[in-house]
Copies of this chain bind each other. A is one copy, B any other.
């Protein structure tokens, strides 16, 4: 068999790899899910998800450091100042990833009762789905009609020494 064409290209600057350097940990998506669902406070997240305290602290710190969440101070009556976590624009732009993960999970991993969360258009209440779109307007029957091609940043692959 001839070598796969993609083998000729480097993975050094792969943006999937770079994205997963930031996101590639189970709890990261769970934390993002909480914030997308309006659960923004440390104690609420901890109670709701059972993420160990130290892991939650670390995940939130990484997400803030990466500019995906920002810390906003608040103070409840008689308490010290605390922080809640809100999505930045960079964070909000992860919504399609989250919806795509949920759609796949709903198809293959939901119980017989169906998915616990659905997504809707805020204005009209209709379901919102994530999908692949051809820029020329063609209907795509499925993922098999899509393929990767080298982009402007493609680099040749050099065998490591």
Contact = CB atoms under 8 A, between A and B. Distances in A.
Given A4-B44, A5-B38, A38-B5, A96 B131 contact: yes
A134 to B, nearest CB: 4
A129 B118 contact: no
A55 interface: no
Range, interface on chain A: 35 or more
A53 to B, nearest CB: 13
Interface core residue of A49, A118, A143 (most chain B CB under 10 Å): A143
A52 interface: no
A121 interface: yes
B146 A99 contact: yes
A128 B145 CA distance: 10
Interface of A: 1, 3-7, 9-11, 13-30, 33-34, 36-40, 44, 47-50, 74, 76, 90, 92-111, 113-124, 126-136, 138, 140, 142-155, 157, 159-160
By Cβ-Cβ distance, the 4 closest A-B pairs, closest first, are A15-B105, A24-B26, A95-B143, A19-B105
